[in-house]
Amino acid sequence: MKLLIVESPAKAQTISKYLDGEYTVVASVGHIRDLPKSNKKAIDIEHGFKPHYEISKGKEKVVADIKKLAGKASEILLATDPDREGEAIAWHIAEAVGIKKPRRVVFHEITKEAVVEAVKHPRDIDENLKEAQEARRVLDRLVGYDLSGIIWKKVRYGLSAGRVQSPALRIVMEREREIRAFVSHAFWVITADVKNKKNSKFTLTCDVEPTDKKEVEKILEIGNSSDWIVKDIKESEVKKAPRPPFITSTLQQAASTRLGFTPSRTMGLAQKLYEEGHITYMRTDSTTLSKVALGQIASMVEKEYGKEYLQFRTYASKSKNAQEAHEAIRPTHINQRKAGKNTDEEKLYNLIWARTVASQMKDAQTLRTKITVEVGNGTSPDFSVNGSRVTYDGWMKADPASRSEDIQVPEVSPNEKLSLVQIHTEEKHTEPPNRYSEAGLVKELEKRGIGRPSTYASIIKTIEERGYVEKVNKALVPTDTGDVVSSFLEANFLEYINDDFTADMEDKLDLIAEGKETYLHTLSSFYKPFLAHLKAKDKLDKATTLGDADTKFKCPLCGSPMVIKLGKGGKFLSCSRYPECEGALTLEGVEIKKDEPIGNDPETGLPIFVLSGRFGPYVQMGERVKGKGSKKAPKPKMSSIPKDKDLSTVTLKDALVYLSLPRTLGVHPVTGKEIIANNGRFGPYVMHDGDFRSLKTDDVYTVDLSRALEILSEEKKKRGFKKKAK
């Protein structure tokens, strides 16, 4: 019996069809070993950063089954994915199963030709590729574990940092600060409806966008009382070249723009298309196409569109170390126009097919026309209109979705007098730079050399899942937690989360993969200074949260609330948002005052405060008083303030509504037990006898007993876990 081991069951099923029963094909179902959670057990730093791996939870049976089959096999081949991670998985399988002389086969597309050819030429596991991936894993663990540890001490328990996700978060925060610092100003767009001598109506736009209302009025005055004469007509042929075949990052960007898919969604669909044998390996930063693929494309283009549309092209890879795979993402069979088991797979396949074919076709040609009109013999800024139309579709024949609409302009002659119909003005305001979309952040990470094709989707997913950014209308917006974490890291560990360090480390990992650098030297040269830096920062004063604030002061630089910190010299004020503001503060003569109540509860007479704590803003009735002796003072009543509420607008009436929670709605007609409405860690809910139900559309402050009974009668969603047996 011959054994061939892959990662995915779907991949195993596809490959089995091609080997005619010669091999038993089994799947490891991804990684089978990993570093344990405890860093002390995971990496032996003193003895050369030696990692200690454990069988991943739930993979014990998979390993036992493969080991059993391996014991009976006359030949064992490891056919994991063709990149560093795949090489590392192959090595882990060999180590865990006890394969003495592991042999590796590699293919970049799951077709019968590729698989059969690969099986004929097995090789040893590439130790350089394995060590490069191992170095990445160990490095990520060391940085993440140690940086997260100091964040737990100095900011808040449970927060985390990472070698690549922290730079990604920093990039999002840098853009957010640009937006906060942006000062908008007004400007005017002036347009004019005119007619030519053939009475064809069209619209011109003023070449100047005035910022002064008086200038606008002057342009209107001249325009309404002067002649409009055609000053210039320019026509130019513009060639538009096709884009290179897809690599991982450009596929994610195009799928986001054209199809609305997130990077993680795109990679999941591409993985399925690859495993089904429809496309080549989807983690790559190479734009190369094989000779076989070029031959298929040439044949298809000549047959479908004509020989005159064909033009062979080669594209330079953006990455100086394009190494994840040896070919761009392309269909395995160009003649197959449709593929995929569902609509989304079909859409992504069509996108890949069109981009691949278009990359080997002739330039499209566009005729651009610009008409410039003089107003008032040059006493007013010129007005103009632009038009364009495709005169030769070229590569757009294969990818019509990327073709823009033709904008026709009317026929006019030089010095022709136009008739003014009406002038329009519209006041606008300059906009701050756009926040990053997921696709935009992928593009930025690629440009800065942060991460590699296989990591982009997981980087973004990580900072979203950790609550550091959230998607608002497809834009990535940093949360308050993300702001605090990034600001802390930038203030204290900028050299380890900046672009240069992160990109340089990726280059060093590439050198390990090429055999030009060693695992031990790379980790040693990084960790010794990093550890020294960590120890120095361990003496930092602990940062306080807004809940520790005892002042109403605003930062004079950025306007953020200020907090009190404890230092060697006692209490001092600090900006809650940006550590870099701290040095600009003057504390002389500042008196720290207690929070003042917004009013008093009409029933108890207790003062009500608006405060902020570790879980966000809240209202509090009464003050905290330390108990004397063995007696403990009662805890003041508190209630969360809704996230979308501006704290500066919270009134006494609002506070009393918030403090009405928890609300007893009544008793259940069957059990006789109370039904409660309240706000919790995961949002508003109703509760009866230990049964919690989230309020999705109902208002927690107004929901009544009858509605609560309806919600409780609905079938509860399964949470995917089983109760422990008593």
Contacts 24+ apart (CB under 8 A), 375-379: 375/222, 375/223, 375/226, 375/227, 375/228, 375/229, 376/222, 376/223, 376/225, 376/226, 376/227, 377/226, 377/227, 379/222, 379/226
DSSP category for residue 357: H
Query: Which of these, 276, 5, 267, 265, lies nearest to 125 by C-alpha position?
Result: 5
CA 686, distance to chain mean position in Å, is 34
281 is catalytic: yes
The length of the chain, given as a count of residues: 726
Going by C-beta distance under 8 Å and a sequence separation of 6 or more, which residues neighbour residue 643? 616
Please tell me whether residue 5 adopts helix, strand or coil conformation. strand
Going by C-beta distance under 8 Å and a sequence separation of 6 or more, which residues neighbour residue 103? 75, 76, 77, 78, 122, 123, 124
DSSP state string for 252-299: HHHIIIII---HHHHHHHHHHHHHTTSBB-S--------HHHHHHHHH
Q: What is the C-alpha separation between 703 and 692, in angstroms, rounded?
A: 15
Q: What is the C-alpha separation between 657 and 651, in angstroms, rounded?
A: 10
Which amino acid appears at position 294 of this protein?
Answer: L
Say if CB 573 and CB 585 are below 8 A apart: yes
Q: Which two tokens stand for residue 578?
A: 């940006």
Say if CB 590 and CB 573 are below 8 A apart: yes
Q: What is the C-alpha separation between 242 and 487, in angstroms, rounded?
A: 42
Torsion, Cα 281 287 293 297, to 10 degrees, reads 120
Q: What is the C-alpha separation between 425 and 427, in angstroms, rounded?
A: 7
Which amino acid appears at position 133 of this protein?
Answer: Q
Reading across the β-sheet that carries 663-667, which strands appear in turn?
663-667, 674-680, 683-688, 691-694
Q: What is the C-alpha separation between 711 and 705, in angstroms, rounded?
A: 10
Q: What is the C-alpha separation between 366 and 348, in angstroms, rounded?
A: 28
Q: Is the peptide bond before 453 cis (omega within 30 degrees of 0)?
A: no
Catalytic residue among 281, 349, 527, 658: 281
Q: Which two tokens stand for residue 5?
A: 């081991």
Q: What is the C-alpha separation between 559 and 576, in angstroms, rounded?
A: 10
Say if CB 560 and CB 554 are below 8 A apart: yes
First to last CA, the chain: 46
Contacts 24+ apart (CB under 8 A), 266-274: 266/348, 266/457, 267/457, 269/340, 269/344, 269/345, 269/348, 270/329, 270/348, 271/8, 272/10, 272/340, 272/341, 272/345, 273/339, 273/340, 273/345, 273/348, 273/349, 273/352, 274/11, 274/109, 274/110
Query: What amino acid positions are annotated as catalytic residues?
Result: 281
